[in-house]
Amino acid sequence: MSNRSSILIIFTGGTIGMIKKVNNYVPINFNELIKYCPEIDELNYYLEIIGFNPPIDSAEMSPKIWTKIVEVIEKNYTKFDGFVILHGTDTMAYTASAISFMLQNLNKPIVFTGSQLPIGVHRTDAKENLITSIEIAGSRSFGKAIVPEVCIYFENKLMRGNRTHKYSSNEFNAFSSNNYPILAQAGIDINYNQNVISKGALKTLKIHKKIKNTIGILKLFPGIAKENVYSLLRNDFFDAIILQTYGCGNTIQENWFIDELKDFNNKGKILINTSQCETGNIVQGRYKTSQIFIDLEIINSYDMTLESVVTKTMLLLGESTEKKIFKAKFEQSFCGELTKIEK
């Protein structure tokens, strides 16, 4: 390879790789996709492409496929300066979060992108997202990657992968990073916010592939039936339950509900407090309605996205289901996924 930046494009599937035939959108392979974006040839980068066959709808994404993506990166990590992963938008934030935890000590860009409209449609957002993602993945300063972390580029914004959430199913501006500043804004130039970008690790890349999905999500709502709660908290399958609570971490105070939390907790199981709000933080103990979480030493997710909470929980359960070990690790930031804010 020459002094040009070398980029590996990993095409997993998604809307970006579809064209319209008759009344339906159908997937195409990546070589066909390139035909719809000839501008890629004008980039002064060395590009290689690996495509999943068949392409994967992001609704079918799973830990098994996360591992497959990681293994492709692991095999090619020393060969390329950066990676672009084309992915369906529905679960992109989950995959980006998972990959950020599975690849520790990262010092190269891994840029996820996709599109809201297929590349074969006239008003598609696919071309700009793809071209700019490649440019970001290949951008270096003094020989080092400018953005050495897992991120998502979409509609002119570069965001930390484990801080990103898809909030719109029909707008081009489909993703947000509510609790962390954007890493870069693309206009005429790409303006990087260096103060919030990871500096990159000096240690050897470390891979984590053990994932355990014995988790459940209990979303609170007024009038929630006991049966809904019992189905999760009384089920021995689950090692961890993610509680989606109100506001900054407040919960129901009825005795039956508190008793269920205590029983689950006393079994040595893991409870994680996360907010239904997309912006803000969990602050346990600010109100009386969250004091129970302090009393039971329930795990605080602070300002993490649900996608980040889910994937980090799976990865940590793969290492240990012992509550004290899990809590100590979960409440620490691995790769910029949380900011601790106390009462």
Which pLDDT value is given to residue 115? 94
Which pLDDT value is given to residue 30? 64
Query: Would you please indicate which residues are annotated as catalytic (active-site) residues?
Result: 15
- How many other C-beta atoms can be found within 10 angstroms of the C-beta atom of residue 324? 10
| Strand pairing category for 240-245 and 215-219 | parallel
Contact 173, 134 (CB under 8 A): no
Tell me phi and psi for residue 13, to 5 degrees.
Answer: 135, -160
- How many other C-beta atoms can be found within 10 angstroms of the C-beta atom of residue 178? 14
Which pLDDT value is given to residue 118? 84
Alpha helices in 87-238 (DSSP H): 92-102, 126-138, 226-233
Count of helices and strands (H, E) across the chain? 9, 20
Beta bridge partners of 164: none
Burial class for 100, CB neighbours closer than 10 Å (0-12, 13-18, 19+): buried
Contact 128, 179 (CB under 8 A): no
DSSP string over 329-343: HHTS-SSS-------
- Residue 120, token pair as written in the block: 């074969």
CA-wise closest residue to 105 among 313, 335, 311, 336: 335
Beta bridge partners of 274: 244
Which pLDDT value is given to residue 39? 82
| Strand pairing category for 270-275 and 144-145 | unpaired
The Cα–Cα gap between 192 and 111 comes to: 14
Could you tell me the residue ranges of all domains in the chain?
6-207, 215-330
Fold of 6-207: Rossmann fold (3.40.50)
Tell me phi and psi for residue 83, to 5 degrees.
Answer: -135, 140
- Residue 238, token pair as written in the block: 């689950």
The Cα–Cα gap between 27 and 57 comes to: 9
The Cα–Cα gap between 302 and 299 comes to: 9
Which pLDDT value is given to residue 1? 45
Q: Say whether 215-330 and 6-207 share the same fold.
A: yes
- Residue 272, token pair as written in the block: 């994680």
Q: Which amino acid is at 52?
A: F
If the chain, 343 residues long, is cut into consecutive pieces of 10 residues, what is the mean pLDDT of each piece? 84 84 70 74 88 90 98 97 96 98 97 90 88 95 94 97 96 95 97 95 92 98 97 98 96 96 97 96 91 94 98 97 96 95 66
What predicted TM-score, i.e. pTM, was given to this entire model? 0.95
Helix H or strand E encompassing 207: strand 206-207
- Residue 46, token pair as written in the block: 């060395």
Q: How far is CA 67 from CA 63, 85, 102, 126, 207, in A?
A: 6, 14, 8, 26, 10
Fold of 215-330: Rossmann fold (3.40.50)
Q: How far apart are the first and last CA of the chain?
A: 53
